[in-house]
Amino acid sequence: MQPPSATGPLDAAPQAPGVPDQAGVTGAPGAAAARNWKVLAATLVVLVLWASAFIAIRGIGDALSPGALAFGRQLVGTVVLVALAVWRRPPLPRGRGLLLVAVYGVLWFAGYTVVLNLAERHLDAGTAAMLVNIAPLLVAVAAGAFLKEGFPRPLMIGMLIAFAGVVLIATGGVGVHSDPLGIALGILAAVLYASGVLVQKVALRHTDALSATWVGCAIGAAVLLPFAPQAVVEVAAAPTPAVLAMVYLGVFPSAVAFVLWAYVLQRSSAGATASATLAVPAIVVVLSWLLLGELPTLLGLIGGALCLIGVAWSRRRPRLPRG
C-alpha cells in the first residue's frame, strides 16, 4: 500500500500482510522504549488476531455457508469501521480514488473472503494459512511486471523456493483434512489477496487510508448482499458459537486488527513489521492443533515452510558493492 499523509495512528494505511511501504517513525530517545514495547504488544495482538481468523473460519464448519459467513463478517466489520470513521471524519474517496477503492473492496473484502471461507472447507487451517501467505510474493512479482519495479535476484530465487513449496503441498501435503480442490482455492485466495493489495496501493495515492478501508469494506458487504437472505436463515438456525465466531471475525481480525496494524506501521520499520506476519502460519498450525485437533501432513509442513522461506528470501535486499 502507498503510505498516506497521516496525522494520527488511525489515519495510517491498514497494511496487508507482507507488503512493505512505509518507513519507520523515529522519536525522542526518552520515549523510544515506551513506544517500542507498545508497538511490540500491538504487533503480537495483530498476528494472533489474524491467525485466529483461520481457526474461527475452520471452526464454524458447516454451520454457515461461505457466502453467508463472508456477508455477515463484512457487515459487522463495516459497522465497526463506519463508527470509527464517524469519529475520525476522514475525507471520502472521490473520482478515480473511489473507483479504485471499489475494485479493491470487490477483490479483497468480497472475493478473497468468500474464496478463503470455501477453501477452509477443503483445507485444514494451517495449510490454508501457508498457501495464503504466498500473496506477498505474488504482489512483488506483479509489481515487477506492471509497476516497473523489476525482478531482482532475491525475488526470483524466492519465487522458485515458494513454487517448490506449493508443488510439495499439492503433490504430497494432502492429508485427511485437506484435498486438491482446497489447495487450488487456497492459491486463488492468495491471488485475490495480492490483486486487492496492488489495487489498494494505487487507490491510496488518491484517497485517505481510513476512508479507503471502511468504504472498501462497505462495498465488499454490498457485493455480498445476494447472500443476505441465506445469511439470515443460516444465522437464525446456527448454534450460538458459530454466530459469535462470525461476529468475532468482523470485529477483531477485520476492524480491530486493521486499526492496530496502522498503529504499528506508523511507529516502526515497515519491512520489519511486514516480516513479522510470516509468523502467522506457525501460530495457525499451533492453534489448529490445540483447538481443532488438525495438523497438515509432514510434507505439507515442509512445503509450507518452503513457501514462507521463499517469501522471506524475496524480501532480501541485494548487497551493495563496497567501494
Name every residue whose Cβ is closer than 8 Å to that of residue 234 and which is 6 or more positions away in sequence: 63, 64, 65, 68
Range of the domain at 226: 37-314
The whole-model pTM stands at 0.79
% of the chain exceeding 70 in pLDDT: 79
Predicted local confidence at residue 268, as pLDDT: 60
Can you read off the three cell numbers belonging to residue 77?
466489520
pLDDT tens, residue by residue, 93-104:
888 999 999 999
Return d(Cα 100, Cα 180) in angstroms, integer. 33
Residue 226 lies in a domain: yes
In this structure, of 86-100, 124-138, 175-189, 260-274, the range with the lowest mean pLDDT score is 260-274
- What percentage of the chain reaches a pLDDT higher than 90? 33
Each residue's pLDDT tens digit, 153-182: 777 787 788 778 777 776 665 555 667 888
Instruction: Please report whether residue 303 resides in a domain.
Output: yes
pLDDT class of 18 with cuts at 50, 70, 90: very low
Average pLDDT in the chain: 80
Residue 21 lies in a domain: no
| Residue 260 dihedral angles phi and psi, to the nearest 5° | -65, -35
Number of H helices, E strands in the chain: 15, 0
- The answer to whether residue 23 is domain-embedded is no
Q: Which of 42, 41, 7, 43 shows the shortest CA–CA distance to 25?
A: 7
The contacts of residue 14 (CB under 8 Å, 6+ apart) are 1, 209, 210, 213, 258, 259, 261, 262
pLDDT at residue 49, as a whole number: 94
Count the domains in the chain.
Answer: 1
| 2 is a domain residue | no
Instruction: Determine, yes or no, domain membership for 63.
Output: yes
- pLDDT (tens digit per residue) in 264-283: 765 665 445 556 677 788 88
Position 16 in a domain = no
Tell me, yes or no, whether 13 lies in a domain.
no
Q: Answer yes or no: are the C-beta atoms of 163 and 297 closer than 8 Å.
A: no
| pLDDT-derived band at 315, boundaries 50, 70, 90 | low
- The helix-helix angle for 298-314 and 153-172 (nearest 10°) equals 170
Q: What mean pLDDT comes out for the span 198-219? A: 86
